[in-house]
Structure 1
């Protein structure tokens, strides 16, 4: 199954000069744990809720004066929308990340896939398998 079938197309994004206070507010408003930092439509970094805790609060930085560029993970791991979900899962495991921005053939941001998306997919697959097993059980009197 291609990643584009699993990925969320609605991604919370911000520019590199956005304050981390605003990023935290965006995460809260949108109920997400990360903001993809973009240059135009190209993903260049990501800021997670953990980044805010460790790189801002943990360092005693001022959230109003610290920008996304100051705390974002720049070694951004992405996945192509045409890649399979096994490729995405392997990339997450290899890189130790829980979120992957999804890019189109031109490297433009087209979505995001998270570890939670995989958990939901596996739960749905388990439910379908259970239904098949239940339907094939012989009835006993």
Structure 2
């Protein structure tokens, strides 16, 4: 499974000069937990960071700072992690762990950002794979139960000589095979 198949393709960007209140409004309006921060450059807008809902809560609200007086570019993390959309899940986990982030930008072969991969995306993808494995195990157990029940119902018991209870002699018992 490659990252391009599980990442979120719907991205919302915010200019680095916008206020944190504007950023929070964008997050609410678009129902996203992260914004790609861009800055103007001669060749067009370029990605300079990422700001998350957690950044707003932990770094601004919890410290009692004024969200109108701080620009997104001042808060945005420049500790960016990026992955090729062709990368696999273990590679994504390794990059995110090494960079200490919960989200990574996903790029195409030309280096353009085409999505965001979140920890939730990874967990969801892994959960689906584990559910598939669990389904295989359950179907195997069900098949074994069905086959065992069928054999027990269609087999003729085999005679088996066992010691008789309370006697020194032997008796014949019928045991299914």
**TM-score, normalized by length of structure 2?**
0.72
User: Which one scores higher on RCO, CA 8 angstroms, separation ≥ 6?
Assistant: 1
**Range with greater deviation from structure 2 (25-34 or 3-12):** 25-34
- Say which of 94, 97, 109 aligns to 1:105: 109
Aligned: 1:54 with 2:61: no
- Say which of 112, 130, 133 aligns to 1:129: 133
Distance in 1 separating the partners of 2:122 and 2:70: 33
Does the aligned pair in 2 maintain the 1:79–1:101 contact within 8 Å? yes
Does the aligned pair in 1 maintain the 2:19–2:67 contact within 8 Å? yes
**TM-score, normalized by length of structure 1?**
0.88
Deviation, structure 1 residue 46? 0.6
Aligned: 1:21 with 2:33: no
Distance in 2 separating the partners of 1:99 and 1:47: 10
Structure number with higher strand proportion: 2
- 1:98-121 CA-to-partner distances (Å, cap 9, x unmatched) read 111111223221001111011111
Distance in 1 separating the partners of 2:51 and 2:24: 9
Distance in 2 separating the partners of 1:33 and 1:134: 37
Unaligned segments of structure 1, at least 5 residues: none
Number of residues of Structure 1 aligned to a counterpart in Structure 2: 141
> Residue 124 of structure 2 aligns with which residue?
120
SS at match of 1:131: helix
Runs of 4 or more off by more than 6 Å in structure 1? none
Does the aligned pair in 2 maintain the 1:42–1:107 contact within 8 Å? no
Does the aligned pair in 2 maintain the 1:19–1:63 contact within 8 Å? yes
